[in-house]
Amino acid sequence: MGNPRRKPEKLPAKLLAIRQKLGVSQSQMATLLELETGYPRISEYEIGKREPDLIILLRYTKLARVSIDVLANDSLELKFPKNWKRPKQVMDLLERQRRGRIQNRIDILRRQLSRSL
């Protein structure tokens, strides 16, 4: 047997920083990463309780537009360029959810109005 693989110690903080930069909740991040397990898994990644598999790490890098090397290598700092913008995928998710909340509120108001008439 070989030596056990050394885990990147700064990975949890980098994953948290990516989510915060994207401006999304843990639940929204789980959706963006296509995780069926939801936000508890994101929490586990961010506190270092669990390490994401390679596919999930690659999804993080695509969303954040950073190299996988930055996530895997503790000696590399996670930096976002000054002209960094949220990916369209993130903006679309946030817009769909915003519209859904507005529609839910409209539906509630309609029901309240119909009961009062």
Question: Coil, helix or strand for 29?
Answer: helix
pTM: 0.81
User: What's the mean pLDDT when you consider all of the chain?
Assistant: 90
Question: What pLDDT is recorded for position 97?
Answer: 87
Question: Taking residues 2-6, what's their average pLDDT?
Answer: 68
Domains of the chain, residue spans: 11-116
Q: Which long-range contacts (CB under 8 A, 24 or more apart) does 72-75 make?
A: 72/8, 72/11, 73/8, 74/8, 74/9, 74/10, 74/11
Distance CA(95)–CA(70), nearest Å, equals 29
65-74 residue pLDDT tens: 999 999 999 9
Cα of first residue to Cα of last residue in the chain, in angstroms, is 76
Of the CATH numbers 3.90.480.20, 1.10.260.40, 1.10.3720.10, 1.10.1740.10, which one belongs to the domain with range 11-116? Answer: 1.10.260.40
74-110 residue pLDDT tens: 999 999 888 888 889 898 888 998 898 999 999 999 9
Distance CA(110)–CA(98), nearest Å, equals 18
